[in-house]
Amino acid sequence: YKSVDTFYIKRCIELAQKGIGRTYPNPMVGAVIVHNNKIIGEGYHKKAGESHAEINAINYAMHFCVYNYIWLTHKSKILYKEN
C-alpha cells in the first residue's frame, strides 16, 4: 500500500470504532469516499438494523457527481474499489 492508502484505511478504522458495542451481529465497518485526494464522504455502521458504512458515506457525498475510490474495513479485511 502507498502511504495515501494507509491514511484512508486508518480513517476507516477510526470511523468503524465509533460503532463499538452497537453493530452486533454485524461487523464494525468504516468507509470513506475520495475524489481528487480529498475525502468527500465518510460513514460508519452506527447500529445493527440501520444503514451500513458504505451507504452512509455515499449519502454524505451525494452532492458530488463522481468518486474515485471507496475504502472500507470489513471482517478484518482491508478492501478498496477503484471506479
Residues with active-site annotation: 54
With beta carbons less than 8 A apart as the criterion, state whether 71 and 34 touch: yes
14: left (phi over 0), alpha (psi -120 to 50) or beta: alpha
3-state SS, residue 83: coil
What is the C-alpha R_g of the chain?
12
